[in-house]
Chains A and B, each alone.
Chain A
Amino acid sequence: MSIVSDKNRLVLEHRAMRERWGEAARWCCNSGRTVYWWEYTVRVEGNEFPIRVAYPDDYPASPPEIIFDVELPGNTPHVLRSGRVALPGVRMCWFYPGESKRSRNVWNPATDTAAMAIGVAHRWCLAFVVWLSTGNWPVPDAANVVA
């Protein structure tokens, strides 16, 4: 399954995104129309974090990837340096990235959408701003970023 082949899912994703974030999220694709994503700018305490919320090929079995369209310090914690989507950039670590666990902190395609990912991105960026100024990440792990 993918966001292209699962037509019903595509419609639901768009509806969820527009209901939650209105027109602030831009619907985009690459020139070959093989990769689709949302562009959005997270604004936290005067800082702007442009992100792409991109759909992997096996979406919704896998969660969307939140990719920074801005450079982050090399020692930024809670990020993944690579992903499955063919787009450059550091990924926000917002879900337990292993595959074999089903816990509170895993993606669930029954209920979760890319719109939720943008909500999580706000919380992650808030934690990041605290880390920049204090050196301490205010939540211990990605589990608490998702909550």
Chain B
Amino acid sequence: MNRDELFKRTRQVLNPQLTAKQAVLVVGAGSGGSRVAEEIVRFGTGRVMLVDRPNETLEEHNIIRHALGYRDMGRSKVAALRDRLLDIHPQCDVRTHELDVTRDEAALAELVSRATLVLLCTDNERSKHALNAAAVRAAVPMVFAGVFDGGCGGEVGRVLPGQACYACIAAYLQRSPIASQADESVETFDYANPASMQQSTAALNIDIAQIALLQARVALLTMLDDPAGEMDGNYLLFGNRAVAGLFPRMLTSEIWRIPRAPACMVCSQGDSGNVDAAAEQLLAAAEVMA
């Protein structure tokens, strides 16, 4: 492998020496995460840490919306994706970790502490909040993304230390027209029988890939400290298709600057006193029940 030759066509736009120092933690190796990871190594990123849940293997139904294909069917997603990334950039240090980020707090904290950037590519709220808390605590920047129901559009958000965290942004968005779109489908769920709930409307690969590329773009800006202030906000809303009340026409985009939630219990500094001692007292004061 000849590194000079590999980056010959991009070096004038992006010096790979700048990104070689980056250690990027990619959480989620699904349809979005696999695309984002591919782009990240094409930037010349020095280290990529891939995380997915234990025993997540590539199934046939994944393939049509995944960076991996039939030759990797049945393999661990992170292991197969590692091979794919090394096939693009053999000098990249790619590590794989099978981890449930909602259950192993210590292991997650350790991984986040070794990262210069976290890319959140999961599709459920629990893991997003768990990773958000870990990134806030470690003061590591995080870029998250999500594809809206049916792939009509998506979002990319950036969480920088000291600014609005994912929970702040989610709280803000719950009062926005975006939540109204989601609520339309929530009303059809049967809360009395959650096991029978309908699944979200599927998105096409092109819908997911579009948002994944935007996430990679925001990740790159963040790696480079966004010198020109190009993003000018922390939340990108992108419409793949026209949606009444949300996206007036296809390929509409907006960038919002979402403020911190007042007294956010995740990213606010909290009490200035001795919180540890107070917490220990509270734990000790709990009444032990049989």
Contact = CB atoms under 8 A, between A and B. Distances in A.
A2 B108 CA distance: 13
A126 interface: no
B204 interface: no
A7 B287 contact: no
Interface stretch (B17-25, B221-229, B259-267): B259-267
A69 B278 CA distance: 29
Contacts of A108: 167, 170-171, 174
Given A7-B276, A78-B191, A102-B170, A57 B183 contact: no
B244 interface: no
Given A80-B194, A101-B200, A110 B266 contact: yes
A100 to B, nearest CB: 5
B66 to A, nearest CB: 18
A1 B191 CA distance: 27
A113 B191 CA distance: 22
A122 interface: no
A70 to B, nearest CB: 16
A79 B182 contact: no
B127 interface: yes
A99 B100 CA distance: 14
B86 interface: no
B53 to A, nearest CB: 13
Interface stretch (B43-51, B87-95, B129-137): B129-137
A79 B270 contact: no
Contacts of A140: 187
Nearest to B190: A141
Contacts of A99: 124-126
B120 to A, nearest CB: 12
Interface in B171-187: 171, 173-175, 179-180, 182-183, 185-187
B283 A111 contact: no
B183 A104 contact: yes
Given A1-B105, A29-B286, A60 B265 contact: yes
Contacts of B189: 96, 98, 141
Given A28-B288, A29-B288, A108-B174, A62 B102 contact: yes
B182 A101 contact: yes
Given A108-B167, A110-B265, A27 B285 contact: yes
B191 A103 contact: no
B261 A1 contact: no
A7 to B, nearest CB: 4
A102 B279 CA distance: 31
Nearest to A103: B182
A61 interface: yes
A129 interface: no
A135 B171 CA distance: 35
Contact of B287 (A28, A57, A78): A28
B50 to A, nearest CB: 21
Given A2-B105, A61-B126, A96-B189, A104 B174 contact: yes
B174 A103 contact: yes
B168 A101 contact: no
Given A27-B286, A110-B171, A141-B191, A8 B183 contact: no
Contact of A10 (B187, B200, B267, B279): B279
Interface of B: 102-103, 105, 123-130, 133-134, 146, 165, 167-168, 170-171, 173-175, 179-180, 182-183, 185-187, 189, 191-192, 194, 197, 200, 261, 264-267, 270-271, 275-276, 278-279, 282-283, 285-290
15 contacts: A5-B105, A27-B286, A31-B288, A36-B286, A60-B266, A61-B102, A78-B191, A96-B186, A97-B191, A98-B197, A100-B125, A101-B185, A103-B186, A107-B125, A113-B265
